[in-house]
């Protein structure tokens, strides 16, 4: 099986390092970094440049190090596997498009601030599940269960259901649109 952490520089590992950096910044309360979680506040006030900053920072902020650690398991393992399957360029394009999709959903359809890259963790597991399914690998059923559990976790009042569910939906759409039909 694949190494848990790739020995080369990957998009996945870079995203993990950015997440770690922003999570460390949350330890400095005077920075008020959590105000850059994704929400509609700055958009509704017409402060679009701050909304733009939110779009970047929100996905890399985490509630705490446990939140980051839970996402890191998916980031360091699954993300690198899926990045190898898709190729780094396609993977990065997906990350950016998925992030934009979630920014719009959260801005216009969610009433709370959202932080974390869980949406992308779930998206990657969804892609991996679809990849296994397309290869006829029966292990995909275990990952369907993991997706359902993760969506259910999103029903908790302090977790963004829209973030989790939206990430899964977008990767499913992306997966089907980018498959090479023969």
CATH label of the domain that carries residue 76: 1.20.1540.10
Q: Is residue 6 part of a domain?
A: no
- Per-residue pLDDT band for 133 (boundaries 50, 70, 90) equals very high
DSSP string, 145-179: HHHHHHHHHTTSTTS-HHHHHHHHHHHHHHHHHHS
Asked whether residue 5 is assigned to any structural domain, the reply reads no
> Does some domain include residue 74?
yes
In the predicted model, is pLDDT for residue 38 greater than 90?
A: no
Q: Which pTM does this prediction carry?
A: 0.78
Q: Is residue 1 part of a domain?
A: no
Q: What mean pLDDT do residues 35-47 have?
A: 86
Using alpha carbons, list the distances in angstroms from residue 150 to 114, 135, 164: 16, 23, 7
Rg of the Cα trace of the chain? 16
Top-confidence residue, 144 or 75: 144
3-state secondary structure of 38: strand
pLDDT tens digit string along 145-175? 988 888 888 888 777 788 888 888 887 888 7
- Tell me what pLDDT residue 181 has: 54
Which one has a higher pLDDT value, 134 or 117?
A: 134
Domains: count for the chain:
1
Which has more pLDDT, 1 or 170?
170
Look at residue 59 and tell me if it is in a domain: yes
Indicate the range of 4-8, 127-131, 146-150 predicted with least confidence. 4-8
Q: How many CB atoms lie within 10 A of CB 93?
A: 14
Range of the domain at 116: 11-178
Mean of pLDDT over the chain: 83
Report yes or no on 42 lying in a domain.
yes
Let me know if residue 137 belongs to a domain. Answer: yes
DSSP tag of 114? B
78 band by pLDDT with thresholds 50, 70 and 90: confident
Dihedral of the CA atoms 98, 99, 105, 107 (nearest 10)? -170
Note the helical H segments in the chain.
11-25, 41-44, 48-57, 65-73, 80-86, 88-109, 118-134, 140-153, 161-178
* Domain-located, residue 3: no
């Amino acid at each position: 099986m694949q190494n848990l952490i790739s020995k080369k520089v990957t998009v996945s590992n870079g995203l993990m390092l950015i997440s770690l950096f922003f999570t460390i910044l949350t330890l400095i309360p005077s920075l008020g970094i959590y105000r850059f979680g994704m929400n509609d506040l700055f958009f509704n006030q017409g402060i679009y440049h701050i909304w733009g900053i939110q779009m970047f920072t929100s996905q890399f902020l985490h509630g705490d190090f446990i939140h980051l650690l839970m996402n890191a398991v998916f980031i360091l393992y699954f993300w690198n596997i899926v990045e190898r399957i898709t190729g780094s360029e396609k993977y990065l394009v997906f990350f950016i498009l998925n992030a934009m999709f979630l920014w719009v959903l959260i801005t216009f359809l969610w009433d709370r601030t959202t932080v974390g890259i869980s949406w992308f963790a779930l998206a990657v597991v969804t892609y991996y599940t679809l990849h296994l399914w397309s290869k006829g690998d029966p292990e995909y059923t275990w990952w369907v269960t993991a997706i359902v559990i993760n969506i259910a976790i999103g029903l908790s009042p302090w977790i963004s259901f829209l973030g989790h569910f939206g990430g899964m939906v977008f990767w499913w759409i992306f997966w089907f649109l980018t498959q090479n039909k023969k």
